[in-house]
Structures are given as structure tokens and as C-alpha cells.
Amino acid sequence: MTAPTVPWDSSLQASSGGLKAELRRTQRRRKLEAVALVAPLFLFLAVFFLAPIAAMLFRSLDNSELPSAMPRTAEVLRAWDGAELPPEPVFATFASELAAGQKARNLAGVAKRLTYELPNMRSVLFATARALPEQPDGTWQKTLTGVNAVWGEPATWAVMRRAAAPFTPLYLLAAVDREMDTGGSIVSVAPDRAIYVDIFVRTFWIAIVVTVVCLILGYPLAYKLASLPPRIANLLMILVLLPFWTSILVRTGAWVVLLQREGPINETLQTLGLIAEPLQLVYNRVGVYVAMVHILLPFMILPLYSVMKGISPAYVRAATSLGATPFTAFRRVYLPQTVPGIGAGGLLVFILGVGYYITPALVGGAGDQMVSYFVAFFTNQTINWGMAAALGSVLLVATLVLYWIYAKLVGVDGMKMG
């Protein structure tokens, strides 16, 4: 007679269920530990990277000056259809809040915002606020027009209506040399005001030239470092990293001394008889290229070196043993394997180059300043944060577009940063 197996099966199932529960708890605990380990990194990125970018994008569209100082005026202006002059209630509401703003001294933001589109509006607004009577002379439209004829022009109220919106494309349009006319259509600015597109072209051109020069200088140096014995290569790598131990400001100032007309470089060239007169090497594009290449060259060498160090010399030897010339072996065997390092170094140098400020400001001339100079100008001098944010946003978008094109044409899957 066979013994029953039900108790044994029950204990086996209970043991299996306990093991599964323990496995789930272990997996859950490991996931929580992994999340806890990466949470500080995500928090750091969110606070110091994503949040500033989001704030910059918001600031480039922010239009809160008039709505915050004159909320009722902004509301009635948004309800107005924008045809001809606004109705009397709009004038009355504006006059009431203008008088209140004069007493509260909170019209500076409104005046600054209106001045971006109408240059004389700051003085007009404050003069009107000071001359405004307590009671209208008939209608507020007649009274305001009597104080200053500007308030009787449809173009003035078209600007007021645009300033009443919570967001505005004003700064982004200005960053690409565009503006809105009185009818709300986007048009090109006058030729004497069209400067920012040229500045962006100049910025990207300088960054491209610096990237190419860094690649030309850095590739053979990285190749030599990768082929030397480790003891010698490490000593030479210290020389490559040595500039990192000195601030950018000091290095740029040193180039100003070296490149000036009475500097060591010009004196050496004259002593050797290579030139008769000192060359203008500073406060122009040449000085910008030289200083930026010197500063950014290590960022090209390091990714190239890290990739080249992992390439076995046996590949090139095998190619030459099969009949390939040294140049053919290099071009068809070695060079393709270094493309990830070229991509990483080129992308790193280019992105750093488009955002440079100190170096072009110190060694460049008036026609060599990049976008970062104007971002600093609008931030620190004119306090036009909207325009500064718009320039930064356009630069960010343009860089992302170029990165996308690079990813489509070259690919970033195999790119190595070291």
C-alpha cells in the first residue's frame, strides 16, 4: 500500500512560496538601494541643470511686467480686439492704475517693458503719470491724449496690448533679428538693427575653427602619447594637464602679454628676420583662435588618447603584413577605430567653444565677441533678463539641432569621452 504524499507536497509548496517571497523582497531591497544611490545624482541634475534651463526658457517668454503692476489694465487690454483705439473703459482703467502706480512707485518695470518696443515710452509714461489729473477733462481718452499725443496713436496701444499678455515672443524674435509690426505680423528688423544673426554665425564659426584646429594639433599628439611606453606617456600627459592647474583668466591674460605688438612673439619673429613690422596678434580674431585653442586643446587630446590606448597595434601590423602601405593601413584600419574619440573630443570642444566669454572679451576686438558676451551684457548692464534668456535659449536650440545632425550623420552610440 502506497503512503499518501499530500503532506510532503504541501510542505514543498509552502517552502517554494517562502523562497519566492524572499526573492521578491531581496529584489525590492536592491532596487531601493539602487534608487537611493542614484537619487542624489538625479537631484543634482534637476536642481543645477534642468531647473536653470527651464528658468531660462521661461524668462525668454515672460511678459509679467505690465500684468503684475496693472492687472486690471492688462485684463481689459486682452479683452480688446485691437482695432483702432481702445474704448473709453480701457483708458479709464489705465488712468486709474497709472495714478496708483505713480503713488506706489511700481511703474519702472512697465516703463522698461514698453521701452523695448517704443524707445521713448519710459519718459512718456512717467511724464503722463506726473501730469495726470484726478478727474478727466471730459473723457479719459481726451485727457490722456491732451497730456501726450502718443496715447492717441493706435501703434502705442498695440504695444500696450502685446505687453498685457502673460507671455511674449518679443525677446526670441529680437534674438533672430525679427519683430512684430503694428498688425501683429512678424517682419525683419531694420538693417541697422540686425546684429544677432551675424553674432550667432560668428559664434558657431569660431567654435568650428577652434574645434578643427584642436583636432589637427591634438590627433598626432594623442597618437604619440598612446604609442609611447607608459612611464614616458604619463610624464607627457602631465604637461597636457598642466593648463588645468591655472585659471582661464590667468592663461588668457598671459596670451595678451605674449601676443601684443611689443611682446615676446613679435620680438622673436623680428629678431629672426621673418617680419619687418610687428604683427597685430591680439584684440582680433587671431588672438581669439590662439587663446581658445590653447585652453580647449586638452579636451580634445584626452578623449582621443583614451580611445587610441585601447587600439591594439596588431591590427595595423596585420594590415601591413597583408600588403597595405603604412598610410593605407592607418586610413582604413586605425583611423576608423578612433572615430569615437574624434566625435567625443570634437563635440566637447565645440560645445565649450560656443559658450566662451572671458577669452574673446579679453583678447578679441569688437567684431570678435560671441553670444556669451551679449548675454552677459544684457544680464549685468542693461538688466534685460528676457533678452539675455532669449539669446541663451536660441544658442541652446541651435546647439541641440547641430548635435542632432551630428548624431544622424555620424552617430553617437560608440562615442567615448574617456
Q: What is the DSSP letter of 46?
A: I
Q: How far apart (Å, rounded) are the C-alpha atoms in residues 376 and 204? A: 18
Output the pLDDT for position 220: 94
Output the pLDDT for position 1: 47
Query: By three-state DSSP, how is residue 29 classified?
Result: helix
pLDDT at 27 over 60: yes
pLDDT at 414 over 80: no
pLDDT at 416 over 60: no
pLDDT at 7 over 60: no
Q: How far apart (Å, rounded) are the C-alpha atoms in residues 108 and 60? A: 19
The mean predicted confidence, pLDDT, of the chain is 88
Q: How far apart (Å, rounded) are the C-alpha atoms in residues 204 and 292? A: 13
Query: By three-state DSSP, how is residue 186 classified?
Result: strand
- The answer to whether the CB of 76 falls within 8 A of the CB of 89 is yes
Cell output for 413: 552610440
Hey, what amino acid is at 329?
A
> Which residues does residue 179 pair with via DSSP β-bridges, in sequence order?
187
Q: What is the largest CA-CA distance in the chain?
A: 119
DSSP per-residue letters across 70-81: -HHHHHHHHHS-
pLDDT digits (tens, 9 = 90+) for 345-396: 999 999 999 988 989 988 998 889 999 999 999 988 888 899 999 999 999 9
For the four alpha carbons of 62, 66, 72 and 73, in that order, the dihedral sign comes to negative
pLDDT at 84 over 90: no
Residues near 387 by beta carbon (within 8 Å), at least 6 away in sequence: 116, 171, 174, 175, 378
- The answer to whether the CB of 92 falls within 8 A of the CB of 85 is no
Output the pLDDT for position 411: 66
Mean pLDDT, range 262-287, rounded to an integer: 89
- Virtual torsion, Cα 68, 72, 75, 76, nearest 10 deg: -140
State the Rg of the chain over Cα: 33
Query: By three-state DSSP, how is residue 381 classified?
Result: coil
11-25, 136-150, 183-197, range with greatest mean pLDDT: 136-150
What are the respective helix, strand and coil percentages of the chain, to the nearest 5? 75, 0, 25
| Owner of C-alpha cell 500684468 | 67
pLDDT digits (tens, 9 = 90+) for 198-215: 999 999 999 999 999 999
Residues near 255 by beta carbon (within 8 Å), at least 6 away in sequence: 282, 287, 290, 291, 294, 363
For residue 126, what pLDDT band results from cuts at 50, 70 and 90? very high
pLDDT digits (tens, 9 = 90+) for 162-212: 999 999 999 999 999 998 877 778 889 888 889 999 999 999 999 999 999
Q: How far apart (Å, rounded) are the C-alpha atoms in residues 123 and 350? A: 44
Output the pLDDT for position 292: 94
| Owner of C-alpha cell 541663451 | 392
Q: How far apart (Å, rounded) are the C-alpha atoms in residues 137 and 134? A: 10
- The answer to whether the CB of 373 falls within 8 A of the CB of 37 is no
Q: How far apart (Å, rounded) are the C-alpha atoms in residues 415 and 418? A: 9
Determine phi and psi for 148, rounding to 5 degrees: -155, 130
Q: What is the DSSP letter of 135?
A: S
